[in-house]
Structure 1
Amino acid sequence: MRKLLLLTFICIATKLSAQVLPPAVIPTDTIPAIINYTDDNGTVKFTPQLRALRPIAGAPAPFFTYFWEFGDGTFSFEKEPVHTYLDSILTYSARLYATNNYDDGKRPPTRPKKVIIKRSKAMLASAPAPSNIFQPGSSITLKNNCMPKPGDDMMLVLGYRNKAGNLTNNLGGTIAILYNDKEFSSNNFDLTETRTYHGEKTEDLQKLNTFAYSPVKKAKDNLYYASVSPGISQAQIDEILAKEALVLRDQVKNFKSSKAWHFENLKAGQENFVFMDFKTTPEMIKDTNAIVRLSGVFIPDDPKIEREIFNVELQIVASHDPNKMSLRRTRMDYRFTGKHRELTYRVDFQNTGKGPAKKVNVGVSLSPVFDAGTIKVSRTKPEVKSCDSAYANQSCLKVVPGADSVNFIFNNIYLPGTQQEGVHDADSTKGFVEYKIKFKEKPKKLPIYTRASIIFDKNEPIVTNKATGRFKPGLSPGIILGYGFPLQSKGSDYLTQKNITVGASISPYSSYGKYLQAEIYLSDFKEVSQTRTVAGNRDTTIGKVPYIISSRTRTTSTKVTTLNMVPVSLRYNFNDYIGAGVGALVSIDLNNTFKNNINYALKGVNGVPDENLAVLADKFRKVFSDARASVFADVVVGKVRVGPAIGFRYFYDPKSSVSHASTYVTWKF
């Protein structure tokens, strides 16, 4: 009975516990962005359906930013855009790219959505409204939906237009995107998909880049330029061709990857767009304040129209945060870095509030290596003048340097908030300050950290990422001149003899702290021993001439030339003047020569003069006769980072139990 009651209790408890257990947590990072829409005779209102945002402790409230591709060559950055389809096509493929800001998850995946238009009456065709993403007077532009994040994807729009002032209808030409700049060893992007909507055809940019040297292409271009520009001379045509080739070569040589298209019949004032999906590779440099570049190229067929290049610089990020700090060229060559080296920093900020900001205070902590007195503001957004020359209540920028910080204060500005009613342009809510600064003196070869704090009006400060500047290791070749000597009594082994060493080393340039070093050098050993034997009045004949051997001297010698290699040694510089290291030495005897010489002292008979007779009794030579391994430890004093410096090194050969030492002088370059 007890067992039955116990089993009944267990069953009831199990059922109850199953009922009160919380449901399994379903991961939300894989939930795609869902597109909902309503159609009113071709005018479509889009609304997004996205996963819940997950706040990061201590960060501002998370939010999404949006990029819509409508499937007809147009787009929008609004949250709930309204778009009118004018084409006769009734089915389109729309896409939503949502970026999670201040959220600890991944971006919602993008899935194409078929948009079916039910039109009861014909739509009047009209030119689409200008996109407002081109800079004034520019024919080409690039626009990205987010900053690149390693392992994530990024959307890029390449826009081109027949701008006002060209006075040319039905314009043709070539557009191209250049990416994966050669500054980085690994590729930063894979171009996974491109979508065109205006008949653009893929073109080989490399062939176009060398067309000026192709006689056939050059002849065709001569005819073309002569037809569109009557009276043009051959010299002018050659100059045009040379400039065209030079523009492309100068750009292409800085990038490892490219994609190009040829377009035709671009009407006056018409804007077209190419959509590109980039996958940021996991190998992308992990420094989350490094700057990568992309470049758009516009080459019209008409030589009278200007060739244009549009460059963008994108900061690699660890998370999608609109407030960030970056350093242009985070990797520097220490050999050429000195007091007058100038670094360029940029602090980006975005007002994510419900109202406009009238004052933005960007405080930057300065590393002790910088001279605050050399700060120069190069660019700002919004563009404002210095408060030193502004009139009362004018929008201006005040720069307040301190001992270890500097404040850039935007006064009397109007920076809309992303959540402000009536604000649809996300770019209008963003700003930045870019400045240059120099070192006080040549810095130590250590990372340089800088961080910013941004205050909108009287709100709590927002702390950015650290912008980290690092020095490239660099290679420093060096020379080694040494003198080795034994640490024990003289023995029969040549290793216990004195020797001279000459060689070279390779290591990082001017290392601070620990580093690795490799060496190779030659050692020359020479061992000599003598034995004297007296043979009393012993007769001999040399060439029928009688002599008496008065003495005989035997001399043996060994000469060894050794190749010594230190595949790697671990070293540490304690400061500018003292260093130490440990490592392993591999020695190979390149040449081992043994000689046995006998010298006879001969006394002449019957007026024959005395003679000395040297005889080589024995000789042998071995090549690559022996290989040994030993360990060593040393200390070095002097200018240990570059040289000159003097070192003392102790060796121990565990196989032969022989120990010896050497002093050496080293100088690195």
Structure 2
Amino acid sequence: MWLKIFVLRIFPYIYLAMTKLLTFILLCFFCTELNAQVAPIDTVPAIIHHQTENGVTKFTSELRPLRAIAGAPAPFYTYFWEFGDGGFSFEENPSHIFTRYDSIMVRLFATNNYDDGKRPPTRPKPIVRPPITPKPATKPMLAANGEPSLFKMGGNIEMKTNCMPKPGDDMMLVFGYRNKAENGQQNLNGTIAILYNDVEFSNNNFELAAARTYHNEKKSELKPLLNTAFSNKKSQEPIYYASLGDNLNLPNTLSPAEKVLLKDQAKAFRSQQSWKFENLAQNEERFVFMHFKTTPEMLKDTNAVVRISGAFIPDNPLVETEFFNLELQIVASHDPNKMVLRKSRMNYRLTGKNRELTYKVRFQNTGKGPAKKIDVGVNISEVFDPSTLKIVKTKPEVVNCDSAYANQSCMKTFFSADSVHFVFTNIYLPGMQQKGVNDADSTQGFVEYKIRFKEKPPKLPIKSGAAIVFDKNEPIYTNRAVGRFKMGLSPGLIIGYGFPFETDNGNYLNHKNVVLGATLSPYASHRYYWQLELYFNSFNERTYQVPIGTQVRKDTVINNVAYQIMDKQLYKTTKVATINAVPLQMRYNLHKYVGVGAGALVAIDMYNRSSSELRYKLRTQNASGTVTDVNLNRAMDELKENFSEVRTSFFADVQLGLVRVGPALGLRYIYDPKTNNNRMTTYVSWKF
């Protein structure tokens, strides 16, 4: 019976519920698979292929398709290969000769230029020894490891990155050091160090995720070695500066005055890593590979320039200590054509007519053939004086066309209404896609110049951009380099008449009092800004009589002496300490002589003390009939309160005078919505 009921009545509901559950699970699985199929292609890692023949391993790769940015040049990849044995390459399809195969992991870091997606993730690939084959009839050419030399500036140390730093992205750095013949040492011991995260920036820009060494370098401590190096070595110590894309022939040597700054080099960075090296043979080159994570908190200003400094400190005091500073521009996207303003954050208080700014425009020929003419057009802000423009250096390094002979490589500079053009003529700049071009540095160039202000500029952002034309192609527009002024603080004094409010038994009184206070605001603001005001404490003490009704003469006894109460009065004393502040005030300078503002004035009774006292007039008569009057005071209850009352008023005002920096006269209308109390006050302020 029960079985029949279960089969006919209950089982259909269970079957229906199980069917719905199974359908739901299948739908979830299908949606998951569908999401996986349409997952962003940014997550597809780089796939490495290799083939070894006659001892030479050739590498190729598979990368996700590029997505072009509207209006930008055709996107392309740049490559950095780390072979896992101390070798590297920046070629697209490099070849390498492995001398060992123990724990070899090859990595490819591909950078997507002019692409609106993320960089393909890196997936290391292990390389194993290929099967033994008959010995080839001819030896493989050593040119198989034909990576162009990293050392292009003539020193013992040099660094190069695979890209400019992008917030939240990865960056690889090759740290090369060597024992050049000029050192006069057969073998050399010493220390190498990397310094990063400039102290001038509030946030760390980099995190060193990994550092891979291949010549038994051992971690060490940098600070004691730096102190020894600077105190013992008296020879001239060169320091080299480079930016990604620079290819200079000679190092920049510091002047004697600048050499004094070497001792403070390590203090300019918050983060340090160092390694001890040994037995560095003459002319031997070694490389350390550093994987940096650029923090999301990195500067939001993508025109800012950050530094990474490398140090080469040999143990031999006869060999010079060297630093190599790598200047890197923070970017929002990977683009080889960039405009940079060095030291883009300026102190407005110290900025005047003679302040000189340094701009640098980088460009790269990404085409399939060489460029013979390059026109770099830069718009000049109206705050600059074009007659002060001075070219610092260029790449390719050329002469001025005014002094060039026929068909000589040169550069012509001319001005238009609001721009300047730097035109490279009769040059040869190879293209990245040109056959036989493997060195990306050879396809890059730049022009660096300095310019001064006409006069002290307004405290507003200074924007400039460039358009680059290769031969007769369409112009390529760079980012906008923006110079900004640091906020700076401007303290000030304020003397007001007619405010703030005072207290009398909880009521507001319109005393025409004079108050002294201080202000704090951004320095020399040209537009909107916030301002704080704080006034010195006002102290009010008052004693007053309180009526107690009709007095009736009474008899009393004090110390066994009979008295008659002739009069009795009640007095109250209040002591109030009040602090007045303007915690919220928005101001706007309409002109350098006129400013307006609005905000809230807060008065707080920090201390409130009230006490009562009965004052008696007594009369007594002795046995001989002599009458004597006596005054007697009797203290009553005392009440103390802290922060007893807070009163808020609103105001609007106008200032006339030197409203940015200097003296000004203000008129302020104050209104208290609680009591409908309103008044017009005046004040004088002086900002420093």
Q: TM-score, with normalisation over the residues of structure 1?
A: 0.81
> Are the structure 2 counterparts of residues 362 and 556 from structure 1 closer, same or farther at C-alpha, using a change threshold of 3 Å?
same
- The corresponding residue for 2:207 is 190
Distance 1:310 1:638 in 2: 51
Shift, 1:206, TM fit = 2.4
Shift, 1:384, TM fit = 1.1
> Structure 1 residue 633 and structure 2 residue 639: aligned?
no
Shift, 1:630, TM fit = 1.5
1:26-37, aligned counterparts within 5 Å? 26-37=39-50
Letter in 1 for 2:125: K
* Matched-pair identity in %: 59
Q: Is the 8 A contact 1:33 1:50 kept in 2?
A: yes
Higher mean alpha-carbon deviation, 478-487 vs 395-404, is at: 478-487
Distance 1:573 1:595 in 2: 49
Shift, 1:260, TM fit = 0.6
Among 199, 202, 226, the residue aligned to 2:216: 199
Q: Deviations over 1:608-659 (max 9, x none)?
A: xxxxxx9999998967464322232232111111120111222233344433
Q: Deviations over 1:120-154 (max 9, x none)?
A: 45989989778422134300000100010011100
Q: Is the 8 A contact 2:497 2:512 kept in 1?
A: yes
Letter in 1 for 2:224: K
> Structure 1 residue 146 and structure 2 residue 163: aligned?
yes
Distance 1:371 1:643 in 2: 27
Letter in 1 for 2:108: L
Distance 1:298 1:341 in 2: 34
Aligned length: 587
Among 365, 368, 380, the residue aligned to 2:379: 365
- The corresponding residue for 2:127 is 115
Distance 1:368 1:206 in 2: 47
> Structure 1 residue 662 and structure 2 residue 676: aligned?
no
Distance 1:103 1:484 in 2: 64
Q: Is the 8 A contact 1:497 1:526 kept in 2?
A: no
> Are the structure 2 counterparts of residues 666 and 615 from structure 1 closer, same or farther at C-alpha, using a change threshold of 3 Å?
farther
1:494-533, aligned counterparts within 5 Å? 495-522=509-536, 524=538
- The corresponding residue for 2:64 is 51
Distance 1:24 1:93 in 2: 30
- The corresponding residue for 1:648 is 667
> Structure 1 residue 418 and structure 2 residue 436: aligned?
no
Match of 1:185, SS? coil
Letter in 2 for 1:266: L
Shift, 1:486, TM fit = 9.6
> Are the structure 2 counterparts of residues 300 and 617 from structure 1 closer, same or farther at C-alpha, using a change threshold of 3 Å?
same
- The corresponding residue for 2:274 is 260
Q: Is the 8 A contact 1:349 1:454 kept in 2?
A: yes
Q: Is the 8 A contact 2:499 2:515 kept in 1?
A: no
Shift, 1:495, TM fit = 2.5
Shift, 1:584, TM fit = 2.1
- The corresponding residue for 2:187 is 170
> Are the structure 2 counterparts of residues 428 and 506 from structure 1 closer, same or farther at C-alpha, using a change threshold of 3 Å?
same
Q: Is the 8 A contact 1:348 1:430 kept in 2?
A: yes
Distance 2:327 2:347 in 1: 21
> Structure 1 residue 580 and structure 2 residue 596: aligned?
yes
Match of 1:165, SS? helix
Q: Is the 8 A contact 1:494 1:527 kept in 2?
A: no
> Structure 1 residue 589 and structure 2 residue 608: aligned?
no
Q: Is the 8 A contact 1:373 1:401 kept in 2?
A: no
Shift, 1:116, TM fit = 1.8
Match of 1:400, SS? strand
- The corresponding residue for 1:137 is 154
Q: Is the 8 A contact 1:175 1:299 kept in 2?
A: yes
Q: Is the 8 A contact 1:349 1:431 kept in 2?
A: yes
Match of 1:567, SS? strand
1:219-618, aligned counterparts within 5 Å? 249-484=263-498, 493=507, 495-522=509-536, 524=538, 561-590=577-606
Shift, 1:213, TM fit = 11
Distance 1:376 1:76 in 2: 37
Q: Is the 8 A contact 1:634 1:647 kept in 2?
A: no
Q: Is the 8 A contact 2:50 2:59 kept in 1?
A: yes
Distance 2:66 2:269 in 1: 37
Letter in 1 for 2:111: T
Letter in 2 for 1:182: V
Shift, 1:393, TM fit = 1.5
- The corresponding residue for 1:89 is 101
Distance 1:88 1:590 in 2: 79
Q: Deviations over 1:465-489 (max 9, x none)?
A: 11011111111111111111699xx
Match of 1:29, SS? helix
Match of 2:42, SS? coil
Q: Is the 8 A contact 1:38 1:45 kept in 2?
A: yes
> Are the structure 2 counterparts of residues 431 and 625 from structure 1 closer, same or farther at C-alpha, using a change threshold of 3 Å?
closer
Distance 2:210 2:572 in 1: 79
Q: Is the 8 A contact 1:91 1:117 kept in 2?
A: no
Shift, 1:513, TM fit = 1.3
> Are the structure 2 counterparts of residues 22 and 191 from structure 1 closer, same or farther at C-alpha, using a change threshold of 3 Å?
closer
Q: Is the 8 A contact 1:486 1:659 kept in 2?
A: no
Distance 2:632 2:494 in 1: 39
Match of 1:137, SS? coil
Distance 2:466 2:525 in 1: 29
Q: Deviations over 1:249-268 (max 9, x none)?
A: 42111001111111001111
Q: Is the 8 A contact 1:172 1:301 kept in 2?
A: yes
Letter in 2 for 1:582: A
Distance 2:633 2:457 in 1: 64
- The corresponding residue for 2:26 is none
The alignment yields a C-alpha RMSD, in angstroms, of 3.5
Distance 1:176 1:491 in 2: 71
Shift, 1:37, TM fit = 0.7
Shift, 1:581, TM fit = 1.7
> Are the structure 2 counterparts of residues 179 and 375 from structure 1 closer, same or farther at C-alpha, using a change threshold of 3 Å?
same
Q: Is the 8 A contact 2:607 2:644 kept in 1?
A: no
Letter in 1 for 2:329: Q
Distance 2:261 2:228 in 1: 12
Shift, 1:84, TM fit = 1.2
Q: Is the 8 A contact 2:543 2:574 kept in 1?
A: no
Among 213, 218, 226, the residue aligned to 1:209: 226
> Are the structure 2 counterparts of residues 213 and 617 from structure 1 closer, same or farther at C-alpha, using a change threshold of 3 Å?
farther
Shift, 1:464, TM fit = 0.5
- The corresponding residue for 2:89 is 76
- The corresponding residue for 2:110 is 98
Distance 1:501 1:478 in 2: 14
Q: Deviations over 1:393-413 (max 9, x none)?
A: 111111112331100111111
Match of 1:253, SS? helix
Distance 2:544 2:580 in 1: 29
- The corresponding residue for 2:622 is none
Query: Which residues of structure 2 form unaligned runs of 5+?
Result: 1-33, 234-256, 546-569, 614-630
> Are the structure 2 counterparts of residues 526 and 497 from structure 1 closer, same or farther at C-alpha, using a change threshold of 3 Å?
farther
